[in-house]
Structure 1
Amino acid sequence: MRALDLNAATWRKSSYSNQDGGQCLEVADGSAPVVPVRDSKNLRGPVLTFAADGWSSFVSAVRNGELNA
């Protein structure tokens, strides 16, 4: 697997992120076939990557309330 260069990535904060600075998730678009995700409070920290189809299924489940406890 080759390394993913995210130096020029444009990150966007999740609409589900807390406005008070907590629970902040950022996603970078344009890196298909994966979706890079990071914690916006730790910009130099680790980046997780998810398969695009898996990420899409996860986002759909969140939007549909399927993951609410």
Structure 2
Amino acid sequence: MKKTFFTFFAILFFVLGAIFFIVPGPSLIFIMLGLFLLSFYYPKARYYLKRCQSLLQKSCYAIDKALKK
């Protein structure tokens, strides 16, 4: 029951993230939230969540470095 609940809401957040790619909105937040919910039960989702977090961290460092100049 719990796995179904988490999977349903993860898919819902992925769909919202996909919609927000088309219209302006916080798409990355919804996609990462969907990955977070899936990572409780699916190890592959945990891998993608860690990868997404590291890529976002690198991009934030690059933006900070560019803004300091």
TM-score, normalised via structure 1 length? 0.34
Higher strand share: 1
TM-score, normalised via structure 2 length? 0.34
- Structure with larger Rg: 2
Higher helix share: 2
Quick one: higher RCO (CA 8 Å, sep 6+), 1 or 2? 2
